[in-house]
Amino acid sequence: MTPLDVPVPDASTPFAPWSPDAVGTPTIQARAVPPFRVGVAVPLAVIGGGLFALSFPSPGWWWAVYPAVACMLLAVMGQPWRRASWLGYVAGAAFFIPAVSWAGRYLGPVPWLALALVEAAFVAVGLVAIALAYRWVPRAVPTRAGRVWFTPLIVAALWTGREWWSGSWPYGGFAWGRVGLSQTTGPFLHLVAYVGVLGLSFVVVYLVAVVVALMLEHGWARTIRVGVAGVLVSAVLAVPAWDATTSGTVRVEAVQGDGPAGYFSNAQPGQVLQSQMQATRTGVPGVGLVVWPEASAEFDPRRYPQVAAELNAVVAGTHAPLVAGAITETPAGALHNTSFVWTKSGWAGSYDKKRPVPFGEYVPDRWFYSKIAPSLIGLLQRDYLPGTKPNVLHAGGLRVGVAICFDIVDDALTEDMAHSGAQIILAQTNNADFDGTDENLQQLQIARMRAVELGRSLVNISTVGASQVIGPDGRTLASVPPYTATSMIADVPLGTSTPPDVVLAPLMTLVLALGGVLTLVAVAPWGSDDRRQRAWWRNRGRDVR
Instruction: Please measure the distance between the N-terminal and C-terminal CA atoms of the chain and give it in whole angstroms.
Output: 5
Please state, in angstroms and rounded to a whole number, the distance separating the CA atoms of residues 387 and 144: 52
Alpha helices in 238-325 (DSSP H): 271-279, 305-318
Write the CATH number of the domain with boundaries 246-498.
3.60.110.10
Half-sphere exposure of residue 410: CA atoms within 13 angstroms, side-chain side: 22
Question: How many other CB atoms are there within 10 angstroms of residue 395's CB atom?
Answer: 25
Task: Report pLDDT for 106.
Answer: 78
Task: Report pLDDT for 37.
Answer: 94
Nearest to 259 by CA among 215, 300, 296: 296
Q: Is 360 helix (H, G, I), strand (E, B) or coil?
A: coil
Q: DSSP assignment, residue 397?
A: T
pLDDT (tens digit per residue) in 82-115: 999 999 999 999 999 999 999 988 778 989 999 9
Domain boundaries, the chain: 3-242+503-541, 246-498
Please state, in angstroms and rounded to a whole number, the distance separating the CA atoms of residues 385 and 237: 43
Phi-psi region of 49 (alpha: psi -120 to 50; beta: other; left: phi over 0): alpha
What Å distances lie between residue 291 and 208, 251, 428, 488, 492, CA to CA?
Answer: 41, 11, 8, 10, 13
Scored b (16 or more CB within 10 A) or e, 53-83 reads bbbbbeebbbebbbebbbbbbbbbbbbbeeb
Please state, in angstroms and rounded to a whole number, the distance separating the CA atoms of residues 178 and 505: 15
What Å distances lie between residue 2 and 34, 74, 95, 221, 448, CA to CA?
Answer: 9, 12, 28, 16, 42
Task: Report pLDDT for 543.
Answer: 45
Flag residues of the chain having pLDDT under 50: 1-30, 528, 540-544
